[in-house]
Amino acid sequence: MRVIRHGDSFLLYLVRQEKNLLFDLLKLYPQIPVGHFPLSKGGRVPEPEANQRLLEEALAEQRKANKSQLQAFLSDPKRCEPTEPGFRLRLSEAELEWLLQMLNDIRIGSWIRLGSPEEGQEMTRLEPRTMPFFWAMELAGDIQIVLVRALARGKP
Amino acid sequence: MAETVSPEQRPGIIELEKPKETLEPGYLVVCWNDPINEMNYVTHVFQTVFGWQRQKAEFHMLQVHEQGKSVLTRESLEKAEHYVHQLQKYSLHATLERDE
């Protein structure tokens, strides 16, 4: 996969297999369980339960919007323009940021479903049930690295 | 935070200062370390959410990585909640904590 900044937008060049992998991966969104992250660790916030609920509601609303946007993204035939030897995907900077959020949800959620292993301990948790989570976590991370690198170009 | 002073200590100035309990408490936006988020990703998110230059974002990212957490900013409750929401949208482990 190659990513090129083109004016205000980004062009992602993908061979067929990469495109299929990316789209299959994105279909896994969302992966992070609702309410996984607390609003506060110390808990010394006014009305902690109400504020925690508000945060969860805001994130749930966001997740709902993301799912709709993702469905539109995955089913839009004009999104991926065929090129030789694969496809070209044009994204605005905001869309690329959004894609990063989707991928990191899949990455972190898959890691949680693996049992939140420490670095390098993932392989000890592998069994047929958890293999797909390992695959998703690794693939999402690999794509993220490419996208972050592209976004970083030209930033101060 | 600054202590409230007594009139005996600083006559004339006390009228301009509010007692400590009436000041709006500050809230710290804290990002916690985890073994899964990529360092470049975390730096990128800090730059995006706070509008920081790369150097400052990297400093806080390294603090998270090496010290287990970093205080990113101190804000009113409303603003701190906003930042925590933004950081959690990127799936970073961010919380707000009352500043003592």
Please tell me the predicted confidence (pLDDT) of residue A107. 97
pLDDT tens digit string along B14-43?
545 555 545 667 999 999 999 999 999 999
Between B6 and A145, the higher pLDDT residue = A145
How far apart are alpha carbons A95 and A70 in whole angstroms?
Answer: 11
* Residue pointed to by tokens 């992602």: A12
User: With an 8 Å Cβ cutoff, are B90 and A156 in contact?
Assistant: no
Q: Phi first, then psi: give them for residue A37, nearest 5 degrees.
A: -95, 125
| Count of positions (residues) in chain A | 156
- Give a yes or no: residue B62 inside a domain: yes
Q: Which amino acid is at B19?
A: P
Please tell me what DSSP assigns to residue A142.
H
Block mean pLDDT (10 aa), chain A, length 156: 91 95 97 91 85 91 95 91 91 95 97 88 80 95 96 77
| A31 closest CA partner among A139, A152, A147 | A139
- Give a yes or no: residue B7 inside a domain: no
Query: Please, which pLDDT band fits residue B4 given cuts at 50, 70 and 90?
Result: very low
B69 part of contact set with chain A, CB < 8 Å = no
Question: ipTM of this model?
Answer: 0.91
Q: Which domain holds residue B38?
A: 25-98
Please tell me the predicted confidence (pLDDT) of residue B100. 77
Q: Are residues A58 and B84 in contact, defined by beta-carbon separation less than 8 angstroms?
A: no
A32: chain B residues, CB-CB within 8 Å = 91
Q: State percent of chain B over pLDDT 70.
A: 76
| Average pLDDT over chain B, rounded to an integer | 84
Report the CATH number that the domain containing residue B81 is assigned in CATH. 3.30.1390.10
Nearest to A155 among B32, B47, B94 (CB): B47
B10 part of contact set with chain A, CB < 8 Å = no
Chain A: give the shortest CA distance to residue B13, in Å: 31
Total structural domains in chain B?
1
The two structure tokens encoding residue A91: 């994204």
Indicate whether B51 pLDDT > 80. yes
| B31 closest CA partner among B20, B40, B42 | B42
B54: chain A residues, CB-CB within 8 Å = 152, 155-156
| A103 closest CA partner among B45, B82, B71, B17 | B45
Query: Please, which pLDDT band fits residue B8 given cuts at 50, 70 and 90?
Result: very low
Query: Please, which pLDDT band fits residue B5 given cuts at 50, 70 and 90?
Result: very low
Query: Please, which pLDDT band fits residue B88 given cuts at 50, 70 and 90?
Result: very high
- Give a yes or no: residue B17 inside a domain: no
How far apart are alpha carbons A134 and A130 in whole angstroms?
Answer: 7
How far apart are alpha carbons A97 and A110 in whole angstroms?
Answer: 20
Looking at residues B50-68, what average pLDDT do you find?
97
Nearest to B35 among A58, A119, A152 (CB): A119
| B31 closest CA partner among B56, B1, B55, B67 | B67
User: With an 8 Å Cβ cutoff, are B37 and A108 in contact?
Assistant: yes
Nearest to A144 among B35, B41, B84 (CB): B41
Chain A: give the shortest CA distance to residue B60, in Å: 16
- Give a yes or no: residue B73 inside a domain: yes
The two structure tokens encoding residue A17: 């297999």
Q: Where are the domains of chain A?
A: 2-152
For the entire predicted model, the pTM comes to 0.86
